[in-house]
Amino acid sequence: MLVNGSGCICVGMATSIPPHNPTEICDAVIALIDRPDITTEELFSIVPGPDFPTGGIICGRSGIWRGYRTGRSTIVLRARCTTAAIKGNRSIILVSEIAFLLNRVWVVNKIGVLVNGDKIKGISGIRDESDLKEPVRLVIELKRDADPDVVLNQLYQFSPLQTTFSIIFLALVDGKPRELTLKEMLTEFIRHRVNVIRRRTQFLLARARRRKHTVEGLLLALADIDEIIRNIRESRTQAEAKQRLMGVECPASMMKKALGEEGFKQFALERGDASSYSLTSVQTDEILRMRLGQLVNLEQEKLTDEHASLLEEIADYVDILGSSERIYGIIKDDLEEIKKRFGDARRTEISTEELGNINLEDLITEETMVVSITHQGYIKRTPSSQYNTQRRGGKGLRGAKTDEEDPINHLFVASTHAYLLFLTTTGKVRWQKVYDLPQLPRTSKGRAIVNLLNLEDEEKVAECLAVRDFDQEGYYVVMATRSGLVKKTPLEQYSRPKRGGIIAIKLREGDELVDAAVVGPGDEVILVTAKGMAIRFRESDARPMGRNTSGVKGISLLDDDRVVGMVVADPNASLLTVCENGYGKRTSFGPNASSADGETDAASEEEIGSSAKYRTQKRGGKGLRDIRTSDRNGEVIGIARVTDEDEIFMMTGKGKIQRIKAADINVIGRNTQGVRIMNVDEGDQLVAVVRVPPEEDTDGDENAVGEAEADVSPQPSAASESTESYSAQ
């Protein structure tokens, strides 16, 4: 059962025994015979695990050990796959061994279904190149930009290239079903073999004794053949001849002559009284069937040699039945013969990789994605590599198929492994992974967000925030509303959203959320309005609040003004401000400079001069002039914190996207009109601006928080590097 494997299903029970290597099982049985007290751990060192005839790789030893120790477990069996590079900067996955009891055609068809159903992406084709030389050779061709390790993990997760095999050592023992450990199974096999050898020896002993009895009769007849022939000739019938022969008395002297000294001793030992002997019915029947040719001396010698041989066999059989060690020795000899005839090298590899529940993130390539959401609620993600860098002032390229009735409302950059917090117009937040969003070409409009989020009637997504780790003490989500309110809530409170969403902020009537960011200790926040005003204040000025609160005043707005964005200040970066007509500028944040009274009106700002930086004030003031919102510029539509190494994405309401280097935009003072950064078509307007961080930012610490893996680890200075959400309205 162990070597060949076994599987069956009965009422209320099942057997599932994987095949094993015959050499290993034979060695284990021999070890158990030599040491009956051997432990399961020691047997495990001899039999490391199942050995499937189709090869493959067993992942981990814990499942095997549990099965051998308890009689019930599961193991993970993988196909043997290798990756290789081919021409054209592409890769292939070569499958040389598949799992036990599977066939190649079914495996190929199953993988094809997964590829066609977009369950596994990155595969361009699959073909079966198996032949007599290579019984299994499946070639899986990958797309040019596909990561072979990620695709292989996806194949293991979703396709038959990885299967689970049950270990259930259920067998009939003395007619009753029992679950056995490995040692118990081997012990029962030894007990079975002992029983077989005993019964076989008893059968051979009985047959040898019957033959010896017959040969002894023939030898006695040959010793006095004249008397035997006379009795036969004087008989009228065969029955009479038989009776006359059975009446012939054989003296001890004749028996010694016929059987020899050793034979006579054995005969006397068996009979007890050997003074005389009469032929039996069996012996007389054999004598009557004798041919005349058997009377020659050569035939007589053959009978004598056969009798001596039978005596040796009988003695050997008797010794076997009287010695357990002889029986165990025969079992060991049989096992050595099995090893010699059927033993071969192990085919199934046992790896040290222990597999539990595979984390889906391990199957997803981590890369920077551009996520866009339209006004009517269509969402998509597109790799940022699809957007080539252009010079400032260009026309951009087609980024999405949109129209005037459905412009782009939100655009941001995030890693595929980041969490998305969807803050809605009703003040709720929902949770989603970036890799769960539909990945579509840059020219695609996207898919309805209602298919991803359980939105209520009239509920729309107002803002998105990308987060990598919620469990960071001292970090908060700061939200800004259109009417100038801000609210600070611990980040951890948003880590357990429900299916129907949880409350993010309690909005007042007529108000809505416009931006959010993750801040840490010592950070400072800047709010910018559509009329070009800005205020900078410390995050500590806003006290922490629960989720179901409205917040406090962040900036005092002028008539018909509204907040359009919020960033976290950084003295090593600059603030990018973009207006709807394609104009914008960069201005250095400058060092912290606390205001004496906490308020600065527009008139006093003019006295300070346009070269002044964004100095720190108390929250609730009117702020400073950030940019002149003239007829040429239009109103401010978005802001972002950038450095010279960053790049900028800009999108218009009709779906055009332009990507430029931030360094192409000069750093100038606050109270200016800025420069043209994108040519906007007539009837179109900029609706979004977002920072694209350098590529090395996406390979940072897994505990990073914020879009595109921004670093939010605590820093000693108040103006430290911090996280911001680069989402833009």
> Among 94, 116, 148, which residue terminates a domain?
148
- The whole-angstrom separation of Cα 414 and Cα 706 is 8
- pLDDT reported for residue 610: 40
> Among 95, 121, 148, which residue terminates a domain?
148
Check whether 361 has a pLDDT greater than 80.
Answer: no
Token representation of residue 623: 């702020």
**Pick from 72-81, 217-226, 248-257, 414-423: least confident:** 248-257
- pLDDT reported for residue 713: 31
Residues 651-662, mean pLDDT to the nearest whole number: 84
Does 56 reside within a domain?
Answer: no
**Pick from 124-128, 233-237, 625-629, 714-718: least confident:** 714-718
The DSSP 8-state label assigned to residue 544 in this structure reads B
Residue 631 has phi, psi (to 5 degrees) of -65, -30
Predicted confidence (pLDDT) per residue in 106-146, tens digit = 999 999 999 988 788 889 999 999 999 999 999 999 987 77
C-alpha to C-alpha distances, 186 to 43, 47, 189, 438, nearest whole angstrom: 10, 12, 5, 55
Mean pLDDT of the residues in the chain: 81
- pLDDT reported for residue 598: 41
Residues 422-435, mean pLDDT to the nearest whole number: 78
Give the domain CATH number at 87.
3.30.1360.40
Does 312 reside within a domain?
Answer: no
Predicted confidence (pLDDT) per residue in 237-291, tens digit = 989 888 888 877 777 777 777 777 777 777 766 766 666 677 888 988 888 888 8
431 pLDDT band (50/70/90 cuts)? confident
Q: Is the dihedral of CA 280, 286, 290, 296 positive or negative?
A: negative
Q: Which of 416, 309, 287, 477 is nearest to 698 (CA)?
A: 416
> Among 128, 148, 168, which residue terminates a domain?
148
| DSSP conformation letters of 46-98 | H--S---TT--EEE-SHHHHHHHHHSEEEEEEE-EEEEEEETTTEEEEEEEE-
196 pLDDT band (50/70/90 cuts)? very high
In which residue are the tokens 């008139």 written? 603
Does 93 reside within a domain?
Answer: yes
Give the domain CATH number at 494.
2.120.10.90
Q: Which of 265, 328, 348 is nearest to 19 (CA)?
A: 348
Instruction: Return the SS3 of 453.
Output: coil
Does 643 reside within a domain?
Answer: yes
- pLDDT reported for residue 142: 92
710 pLDDT band (50/70/90 cuts)? very low
Does 279 reside within a domain?
Answer: no
Does 612 reside within a domain?
Answer: yes
Neighbours of 156 (CB within 10 A): 20
- The whole-angstrom separation of Cα 668 and Cα 652 is 24
Check whether 104 has a pLDDT greater than 80.
Answer: yes
- Judge contact between 648 and 660, C-beta under 8 A: yes
- pLDDT reported for residue 164: 92
State the residue range of the domain holding 600: 471-709
Does 240 reside within a domain?
Answer: no
- Our count of domains for the chain comes to 2
Residues near 259 by beta carbon (within 8 Å), at least 6 away in sequence: 216, 219, 220, 267, 307
Check whether 726 has a pLDDT greater than 70.
Answer: no
